[in-house]
Amino acid sequence: MTTELEGRDKWRWIFEAGWRGLCPHCGEGRMFRRWLKVSDRCEACGLDYDFAAPDDGPAFFSLCFIAFPLLFLVVWFEVAMNPPWWAHLLVSAPLMIVPCLAALHPIKGWLVASQYVNQAQEAGTGALWAGLNARAKRDAEGRTPYATAAEAAPVAPAAPVAVPSALSAPASDALAERADG
Ligand SMILES: [Zn+2]
């Protein structure tokens, strides 16, 4: 389905799926399990969300396109109105924070949807699934040997340190002689 999406349709599909938090494959299942937690699997079509890795993208875009422009508004508010400090607490802080947090959800949705659509277009759906399955399998197999190897690695016993004996014998002999004489 996504392989037929071209140009404007593709971006409209990404926009809608991301904005409404819907599965980028079927457009029916929900993309998010909780507020910003991407589902493991689409409940409607079974799409595996393993490909979804927007990382810090949502926070970055939210800062760039929401927080930064709003900062100008806050600065204008300060310069033009010269408000008392508590006005910033009541007006500026919510003005900065609320839109940024509100924007995280659709931004993350757009990133996940565009990741899905672009990867599906590049590779064709069959190759995409083959690649994703191979990666998941490799991850699952790769983790176990590493863990057990680290645990089973023999710890080198500490080498015994040879302590030279009778180090102070000559000194004590000399003291004894001096006391005698
Ligand atoms: Zn789906």
123 CA to centre of ligand 1 in angstroms? 19
Structure tokens at 27: 């457009």
104 CA to centre of ligand 1 in angstroms? 21
Chain segment 60-99, per-residue pLDDT in tens: 888 888 888 999 999 999 999 899 999 889 999 998 899 9
96 CA to centre of ligand 1 in angstroms? 34
Residues whose CB falls within 8 Å of the CB of residue 117, separated by 6 or more in sequence, listed in order: 2, 5, 10, 13, 14, 24
pTM over 0.95? The answer is no
Q: Provide the residue ranges of all domains of the chain, joining segments of one domain with +.
A: 2-143
Q: What are phi and psi of 132, to 5 degrees?
A: -65, -45
Cα dihedral 39→41→47→51 (10° resolution): 60
Chain segment 101-122, per-residue pLDDT in tens: 999 999 999 999 998 988 766 6
CA 42, 43, 44, 45 torsion: positive or negative?
positive
Read off the DSSP letter of residue 154: P
- 44 pLDDT above the threshold of 90: yes
Res 15: pLDDT? 92
46 CA to centre of ligand 1 in angstroms? 6
* Residue 60, phi-psi category: left (phi > 0), alpha (psi -120 to 50), beta (remainder): alpha
Res 144: pLDDT? 46
Q: What is the mean pLDDT of the chain?
A: 76
